Structure 1
Amino acid sequence: MSVTSSCRIQSDSKSGRLLSLIQNDPADCRFCYWKHNITLRVNLLLRSLASEGNVRGWKHNNQYKGDTMIRQPAVADRFYPGNPTQLSQQIKTLLTVNALPSKRKAFAAICPHAGYIYSGRVAAETLSAIEIPKTVVLLGLNHHGQGAPVALSLADWHMPLGEVSVNHKVAKMLLDANSPIVHDEVAHKYEHSIEVQIPFLQVLQPDLNIIPIVLSHVSYPMCEEIAATIAGVINTVSEDILIIASTDMSHYESRESATLKDTQVLQRIEQLNPRGVYDIVHSKRISMCGIIPVSVALIAAKSLGATSAEVIRYTDSGEASGDTNQVVGYAGVVVC
């Protein structure tokens, strides 16, 4: 079975905005920014509708419960079961089969964001290896090019396993920090890179609240600025906070090629060398989609005191599909 992806553009009849809706195969995150120039063009169009920290018309893109904004699932029944019983059973099975014998306290983790049939085992093994605190900063990537470049959602996330709230105290501190992080819901509406992490976290931490931030492609100095803001806020609050960066690795390479490229990236991650990770992905044109979330997470974790990183598991979509000619790579990493 070949891994494929399709893309369509639709108009939002309520707001008149042009929306880029990338419908992904669950094996794929399909964010090859050097291949998809249309994403950049749509991003520029949408950004012209926005001012910093305030996207005009965002109310049309969300539902409300009283005064609370609700973010609806974007990829339920595609990347994971939308039925709560089936979803809970699948996650508990993955966690039971792939659980490691002991848990450690971590500053950060790196997890894939494909459909659970492809990357669920990696996510389960990675997240079961660490303690999951009540508050988790989730760093995803903006696959669609909509909204602010560094967008924090304040919505309640309506998920099949129940609603998950944002830690508004910490979120406000991030938004008040005079950094690139701004409040924007448009960037989150269709984005799956954060959404697919949440059900695992809900099972592992029933009292979960989150700080969801999606990032577009930004410069390394801006990664440093974002990371410094996140680490600075974490250092000032009296609670444990975990950072999770969402990424898939190489896309649409042979297994041999993907493994070779991904190994070079993972070696630099294990060396806690975020600049090296950022540089090799760009210099070698490695189609690792979440390079920005990973760079930010590593920089922040080092600032918080991290001294080691371990690759818990690496695999690719061919393990599930049987197709090793065009694979998507998946890695789980724990940073302590």
Structure 2
Amino acid sequence: MSEPISRRASHAGSWYSSSKTQLNNQLENWLKAAGPNKHGPARAIISPHAGYQYCGACAAYAYKEICPTTTKRIFILGPSHHIHLTGCALSTASVYETPLYNLNIDRDVYEELYSTNAFERMTINADQEEHSIEMQLSYIAKVMESVGPSGFKIVPILVGSLSTDKEEMYGQLLAKYLADPANVFVISSDFCHWGSRFSYQHYEKSWGEIHESIEKLDNMGMSLIESLDPSAFTAYLKKYRNTICGRHPISVLLNAVQHLRLTTSNGQPGISGTLRFLYYAQSSQCLRMRDSSVSYASATLNLSN
């Protein structure tokens, strides 16, 4: 039998600490600072994926809502930053490494997804280059440490530049997994990337300083995400072009929730949900047009039958 393919923690030591002790202490401190649960237990979270020095504290508010004792499988939907995709792709690895401990991929679920003919395979090089999924792994390992690597598996999915029709299609494909209380979805996304280096400088002067304009713009998007209305979120993106890098994974989640809400069984209403944003931050406050910043937000989704 061939050895399982491992995806190394390629951004450890740069985007976050490669020291198990240091990383563990940082994650513990951020989770403690986030305080008690506010909207859990989570069936899905939205979490940022920048370097931990920028967004680690923000991400803790989302990860605090995951209940390890009821979670058996964690889907990770991250946007593709480096390879062109018009659909979604799955890893060729069986194990994802983290400085804390290694995470096992659920290859059985992968086979189910491949059977739909809607998923590509990404190369191990493309996998290791991408940070949007990797930046969630150490937090997952930390919040799931009480059950350990044998107690759960992960399902990483790289999400490309999807059309609205494909967002709906992937949402419907994944809805049955979201409906399972043993599954949690992690949606990897930063919010507004503002500045000339991002080719985005939308500024409404009537909204105040530049950083206040950015916050209002993000808050508009966050409110629409909380409404769980994928078409409204799509219209907002079309109007403002806000550079939310995980907009496609977010839209897939919204379509999955909508599918569950519209699905009935034996005449009973479908599954309903509530999504709340718990924390928002910016990497810096932009005051001049030459400034730049990235926004971060954490959210959690509850579902009920």
Considering the TM-score relative to the shorter chain, is it more than 0.5?
yes
Residue 282 of structure 2 aligns with an amino acid whose one-letter code is D
Query: Residue 151 in 1 paired to residue 89 in 2?
Result: yes
The answer to which of 253-262 and 112-121 deviates more is 253-262
**1:220 corresponds to:** 164
Aligned partners of 1:134, 1:315: CA distance in 2, in Å?
31
The amino acid that maps onto 2:159 is L
3-state DSSP class of the match of 2:185? strand
SS of aligned partner of 1:145: coil
TM value normalised by structure 1: 0.74
1:302 CA displacement: 3.4
Question: 1:59-78 residue pairs with structure 2 within 5 A?
Answer: 66-78=2-14
Q: How does 1:157-196 map to 2 (within 5 A)?
A: 157-178=96-117, 180-186=118-124, 187-196=126-135
Given that residues 188 and 246 in structure 2 are in contact (C-alpha distance below 8 angstroms), is that contact kept between their aligned partners in structure 1?
yes
Does structure 2 retain, via aligned residues, the 8 Å contact 1:226–1:296? Answer: yes
Give the RMSD, CA atoms, in angstroms.
2.4
For 1:317 and 1:234, how far apart are their aligned partners in 2?
Answer: 31
1:154–1:252 distance in 2 versus 1, CA, 3 Å: same
**Cα drift, residue 322 of structure 1:** 11
User: Could you say if the C-alpha distance between residues 323 and 175 of structure 1 is closer, same or farther in structure 2, counting changes exceeding 3 Å?
Assistant: farther
Partners of 2:287 and 2:19 in 1: how far apart?
A: 27
Give the one of 177, 188, 212 matched to 1:246. 188
Alpha-carbon distance between aligned partners in 1 of 2:123 and 2:174, rounded to the nearest angstrom: 19
Confirm whether residue 205 of structure 1 aligns to residue 144 of structure 2: yes
The answer to which structure, 1 or 2, has the higher relative contact order (CA under 8 A, 6+ apart) is: 2
Tell me how far apart the structure 1 counterparts of residues 247 and 16 of structure 2 sit (CA, whole Å). 24
Report the secondary structure of 2:221's partner residue.
helix
What is the one-letter code of the residue matched to 1:140?
G
| 2:229–2:258 Cα contact (<8 Å) kept | no
- Give the alignment's TM-score, normalised by structure 2: 0.81
Work out which of the residue numbers 196, 217, 231 in structure 1 matches 2:175: 231
CA contact (8 A) 1:170 1:233 kept: no
**Aligned residue number for residue 282 of structure 1:** 238
Q: Which amino acid in structure 1 is aligned with residue 222 of structure 2? A: L
What are the superposed Cα offsets for residues 258-305 of structure 1, whole Å, 9 maximum, x if unpaired?
212111100101111122212212321111111001111122133342
Q: Is the 8 A contact 2:178 2:184 kept in 1?
A: no
Q: Which residue of 2 aligns with 1:106?
A: 42
Cα distance in 2 between the residues matched to 1:219 and 1:295: 10
Contact (CA 8 Å) 1:166, 1:211: kept in 2 or not?
Answer: yes
Give the superposition deviation at 1:323. 9.8
Structure 1 residues 263 and 147: alpha-carbon distance in aligned structure 2, compared to 1, 3 A threshold: closer
> Counterpart amino acid of 1:122?
C
Match of 1:329 among 272, 295, 299: 295
- CA change 1:244–1:323 in 2 (3 A) is farther
Point out where structure 1 has 5 or more consecutive residues left out of the alignment.
1-64
CA change 1:72–1:323 in 2 (3 A) is farther
Q: CA deviation at 1:101?
A: 4.1
Counterpart residue number, 2:254: 298
CA distance, structure 1, for counterparts of residue 104 and residue 40 of structure 2: 25
Counterpart residue number, 1:130:
66
Question: Percent of pairs identical after alignment?
Answer: 27
- Structure 2: tracts of 5 or more residues without a match: 146-150, 196-209, 261-270
User: What residue in structure 2 maps to residue 270 of structure 1?
Assistant: 226
How big is the shift at 1:134? 2.5
Q: Find the residue that maps to 2:273 and give its secondary structure.
A: coil
Q: Determine if contact 2:211/2:287 at 8 Å carries over to the other structure.
A: no
Q: Is contact 2:282-2:295 (8 Å) kept?
A: yes
Higher strand share: 1
1:308 aligns to 2:274 (yes or no): yes
In 2, Cα distance between the equivalents of 1:234 and 1:108? 8
2:222 aligned counterpart, secondary structure: helix
1:124–1:183 Cα change, 3 Å: same
Aligned residues: 268
How has the CA–CA distance of structure 1 residues 105 and 306 changed in structure 2, closer, same or farther, with 3 Å as cutoff? Answer: farther
| Structure 2 SS opposite 1:87 | helix
